[in-house]
Amino acid sequence: LTKALNKMANDARNSKLSPDDIQGGTFTISNFGTFRNVMGTPIINQPQVAILAIGTVEKKPAVIETPTGDVIGIRHKMFLSLTYDHRIIDGAYGGAFLRKLADYLENFDGNKVI
C-alpha cells in the first residue's frame, strides 16, 4: 500500500496521473495545508462516499486545563473537514469518525512503535 501510494503521489506531483489511476476509490484525503490554507470545503469525488480535508498546522493560543487551574499556552492546531454522502453515512458515524481521528492526532506518540 505504501509503495502504491508513494508512486501515485509522485505521479501526481509530476502531472503523470491518468484517469484510470484514480478510479475505484471510496474515500479521498485532500491536504489544503500544503498551500498554507487553514481550512477548505472539500467536494466529494462521485461516486466516492467521503472526502477529508486537512488544513495547515499553526501555533495558536489555547486553554490548557491543569490540576491547579486553567492556563493559556501555545499549541499546534489544524482544521479537519469531513464531507460525506448522507445517503450512505449517517451524521453520527461521520462525526464519530472525525472525533476518533482527532483523538489519534492529539495523542500521537512519535516514539511508539506501530
Which residues are part of the catalytic machinery? 86, 90
Under DSSP, is residue 105 helix (H, G, I), strand (E, B) or coil? Answer: helix
Q: Average per-residue pLDDT in the chain?
A: 93
The pTM for the full model equals: 0.78
Question: Residues 21-32: what's their mean pLDDT?
Answer: 90
Question: Is the pLDDT reported for residue 48 higher than 90?
Answer: yes
Question: Is the pLDDT reported for residue 90 higher than 80?
Answer: yes
Domain boundaries, the chain: 26-106
Question: Residues 82-92: what's their mean pLDDT?
Answer: 95
Q: Hey, what's the cell of 63? A: 486553554
**Domain 26-106 maps to which CATH number in 1.10.3720.10, 1.10.490.10, 3.40.50.300, 3.30.559.10?**
3.30.559.10
Q: If DSSP states are collapsed to H, E and C, what string results for 37-88?
A: CCCCCCCCCCCCCEEEEECCCEEEEEEEEECCEEEEEEEEECCEEEEECCCC
What is the model's pLDDT at position 103?
A: 95
